[in-house]
Amino acid sequence: MSRSIDVITHFGPEADKPEIITELQNLTKVHALTVEDLYIKWEQFSNQKRQTHTDLTSKNLDEFKQFLQLQMEKRATQISSNSKINPSIKKPLINKSLNSSPLFGLNIPKTPTLKKRRLHGPSSLSDSKKPYTAGSEVETNGNGDSSLKLEFTPGVPEGNEDTKFQPSAKSLNVNTPNPSTFQTPTINTPTALKLSTTGGKILDSLNPENVEISPGNSNVGLDSTEELPPSEVRVEPFYDAKKYRFRTMRQNLQEASDVLDDQIDSFTRIIQDHYKLSPNDFADPTIQSQSEIYAVGRIVPDSPTYDKFLNPESLALETSRMGGVGRRVRLDLSQINELSFFLGQIVAFKGKNANGDYFTVNSTLALPYPNSPVSTPEELQEYQANLEGSSLKVIATCGPYFADDSFSLELLEDFISRINTEVKPHVLILFGPFIDITHPLIASGKLPNFPQFKTQPKTLDELFLKLFTPILKTISPHIQVILIPSTRDAISNHAAYPQASLIRKALQLPKKNFKCVTNPSSFQINEIYFGCSNVDTFKDLKEVIKGGTTSSRYRLDRVSEHILQQRRYYPIFPGSIRTRIKSNNIQVKKESNNVKGNEEKVYEHISGADLDVGYLGLTEFAGGFTPDIMIIPSDLQYFARVVQNVVVINPGRFIRATGNRGSYAQITVTCPDLEDGKLTLVEGEEPVYLHNVWKRARVDLITS
């Protein structure tokens, strides 16, 4: 009797019929579901039929049975196709790692206000539509196989089947790291790296025919014991650091939804102003209407059970509470010939919902690009005088800084030596992770023995102080050093994105030339605005593409344009989660013939974007304008491009998993000159100049 009441409670008065109750109860028994779970399946079934309400008729119940059967068969097929049957393997008892990063926190940020004036970008897009590209093909930055046989493994890029992991028998019972583990090392110190290539080799260049490589900082090499001369460059952060010091793991759904709503509403105002539309032109796309309307919303999948493979027929539009009570409506994109969409993208459409089931899109409204930064003639002349007419040199590198089977920093030591003696940059930007929490030796808790230390490091903070700090202190005090954390950094106590800066004092780094900034961060080096983000947007952004013109374009150009149009360093929502199958953790149920079995895959969380939804406002472009140079490290092949008059750079990883040399970016920007014609004068009440860094910059991608 109680089960009958549960059925009526969940399915409504329509289910108060003996034959319907019997059918639904049978389905709960056959598929081992609770009434609540069965009702959730029924809602999925109704959503797939594109109906807001599906009647409980015999015909629909028969179709519902087929729906459940297909789901069960699909799940069984995936398990059998992705697993290797091995009846002799038993599932061991594994202690779960406590090293996972927090995913969510809370509160609503506000983008820092800026005193800097902004002007619209170039009026002519003829040049910007044809991005600069590096002239030659470059080597792929593949990952080698790891030689260690450990229980926990580093992050493996999705779809990279070349990186395999074979656990040893002893690795099946590795405990969570604890102080005693650190005090009793179980492996020896790795030998020096065997580097197959030479450092300092130029792999690729952007704009080499127009700009010569900067000779560098003339002060580097001077006696550091004497009083330092005035710096040739000025580094100024362009954000409010206090707003990044929030507590994670405190997500409030109401505040998170407010942030997501604000994103849609703010773009509605931008579209309205840019296209000179009236507020009455915008309406709710989920309501049936025969009139064309304008609608702004977020791209989402049309089904909660999507399997990460989307197409133009499987997309829906999510509205804000103000624009459509937060409801979703499926999109009919059959009339659109060219498109490039991704989950979380804010879009603007013109169309109508004639039947109540679909919003038919007749045209898409391109989002306007943000403004470009400007400077006054007096400011530019001051920067020119500081550099004495020479060009600016900036170096950007991204971790990890040691191989998967080693803690050797031989490559970093060699790199810093070349920085001080040969390269001599004005600014050195170091992206994390410095000590990667997903590193195999760290994840397993097996730190090696360091014979060069009198006392062995007992914590990961001590490991940084003993390994990294002495090397970083050898950097010339005339070089400005900027540290940007990663959510995988073991030395960071803030493992969510956006991420607070590292604590320079705790790292025992000099105050005079070291600066720790947030992730993401915007800062100014002389007149040039840099935008840096240490989350892999280029890899995580998966597009839904339609049309030959769109698909034939270089993918990294499309992704860069999405970032600029969305005005956020990480416009994807929800964020990515990187997992891998733990090959040693398989449960096998032996059958009577002892030949076949069923496998249960166990997934291990490695890392991800780790978005803190309540603070996503801090990931927006500071001041609402584009940076002159945008640096976003990625696991993908290093590159340097000019997209919409913005220099976009992926410096690549400093070292590969196998210990081979990686790459870094060397940026040269000529000194601003009001007379050479490379700066664009913008008339107004007070004359200002567009920086046009894309005309004045050269980027070299070099082996580390």
- Displacement of CA 208 from its chain's centroid (Å): 29
Element at 294 (helix H, strand E): strand 293-301
Handedness of CA 532, 538, 540, 542 (dihedral sign): positive
| Mean pLDDT on 159-163 | 40
- The residue among 413, 426, 434 whose CA lies nearest residue 476 is 426
Question: CA 131, CA 558: separation in Å to the nearest integer?
Answer: 11
Neighbours of 514 (CB within 10 A): 21
Element at 545 (helix H, strand E): strand 544-546
Q: What is the pLDDT of residues 272-312, one digit of tens each?
A: 999 999 999 999 999 999 999 999 999 999 987 776 678 99
Token pair belonging to 189: 């110190």
- Angle at the Cα of 488 from the Cα atoms of 467 and 202, rounded to 5 degrees: 70
* pLDDT confidence of residue 58: 83
> What is the DSSP pairing of strand 328-332 with strand 358-364?
parallel
What is the crossing angle of helices 35-48 and 2-11, to 10°? 30
Of the two residues 444 and 230, the one the predictor is more confident about is: 444
* pLDDT confidence of residue 443: 86
Fold designation for 198-248+371-538+612-703: Purple Acid Phosphatase; chain A, domain 2 (3.60.21)
Q: What is the pLDDT of residues 373-424, one digit of tens each?
A: 999 999 999 999 999 999 999 999 999 999 999 999 999 999 999 999 999 9
Q: Which range has the worst mean pLDDT, 94-98, 391-395, 523-527, 577-581? A: 94-98
Q: Which range has the worst mean pLDDT, 128-132, 235-239, 256-260, 399-403? A: 128-132
* pLDDT confidence of residue 52: 56
Question: CA 206, CA 394: separation in Å to the nearest integer?
Answer: 14
* pLDDT confidence of residue 322: 93
Question: CA 529, CA 537: separation in Å to the nearest integer?
Answer: 20
| Residue 169 DSSP label | G
Helix runs in 133-185, H state only: 179-183
Q: Are 531 and 238 in contact (CB under 8 A)?
A: no
Domain boundaries, the chain: 2-82, 198-248+371-538+612-703, 276-364
Query: In a 3-state reduction of DSSP, which class is residue 63?
Result: helix
DSSP string, 32-47: T--HHHHHHHHHHHHH
* pLDDT confidence of residue 317: 98
Neighbours of 545 (CB within 10 A): 18
Q: Which residue is listed with tokens 């040269």?
A: 668
Question: CA 694, CA 435: separation in Å to the nearest integer?
Answer: 34
Q: Is 160 exposed, middle or buried (0-12, 13-18, 19+ CB in 10 A)?
A: exposed
* pLDDT confidence of residue 51: 60
DSSP string, 587-640: EEEE-TTSS-EEEE--EEEEEE--B-GGGGGGGBPGGGB--SEEE---SSPPEE
Query: In a 3-state reduction of DSSP, which class is residue 553?
Result: coil
* pLDDT confidence of residue 582: 65
- Computed on alpha carbons and rounded to an integer, the radius of gyration of the chain in Å comes to 28
Query: In a 3-state reduction of DSSP, which class is residue 253?
Result: helix
Question: CA 64, CA 66: separation in Å to the nearest integer?
Answer: 5
Handedness of CA 404, 405, 410, 414 (dihedral sign): negative
- Angle at the Cα of 638 from the Cα atoms of 634 and 640, rounded to 5 degrees: 110
Architecture of domain 276-364: Beta Barrel (2.40)
Q: How big is the chain, counted in residues?
A: 704
Q: Are 544 and 342 in contact (CB under 8 A)?
A: yes
Q: What is the pLDDT of residues 80-106, one digit of tens each?
A: 555 444 444 444 443 433 343 333 333
Token pair belonging to 300: 């989402």
Q: What is the pTM of this model?
A: 0.73
Q: Which range has the worst mean pLDDT, 184-198, 388-402, 660-674? A: 184-198
| Residue 637 DSSP label | P
Q: Does pLDDT of 606 surpass 50?
A: yes
Q: Does pLDDT of 123 surpass 90?
A: no
* pLDDT confidence of residue 50: 59
Torsion angle of the four alpha carbons 189, 193, 199, 201, in this order, in degrees rounded to the nearest 10: -140
Question: Checking phi first, is residue 107 left (phi over 0); if not, alpha (psi -120 to 50) or beta?
Answer: left
For residue 505, the one-letter residue type is K
Question: CA 475, CA 102: separation in Å to the nearest integer?
Answer: 33
* pLDDT confidence of residue 179: 39
Q: Are 546 and 310 in contact (CB under 8 A)?
A: no
Element at 384 (helix H, strand E): helix 377-387
Question: CA 599, CA 84: separation in Å to the nearest integer?
Answer: 8
Q: Is the peptide bond before 177 cis (omega within 30 degrees of 0)?
A: no
| Residue 620 DSSP label | B
* pLDDT confidence of residue 271: 98
* pLDDT confidence of residue 80: 58
Please report, rounded to a whole number, the percentage of residues in the chain having pLDDT higher than 70: 77
Of the two residues 194 and 197, the one the predictor is more confident about is: 197
Compute the mean pLDDT over every residue in the chain, rounded to the nearest whole number. 82
- The residue among 238, 141, 157 whose CA lies nearest residue 536 is 157
Question: CA 54, CA 34: separation in Å to the nearest integer?
Answer: 20
Question: CA 425, CA 13: separation in Å to the nearest integer?
Answer: 75
Q: Is 289 exposed, middle or buried (0-12, 13-18, 19+ CB in 10 A)?
A: middle
Q: Is 452 exposed, middle or buried (0-12, 13-18, 19+ CB in 10 A)?
A: exposed
> What is the DSSP pairing of strand 528-532 with strand 629-631?
parallel
> What is the DSSP pairing of strand 629-631 with strand 646-650?
parallel
Question: Checking phi first, is residue 628 left (phi over 0); if not, alpha (psi -120 to 50) or beta?
Answer: alpha
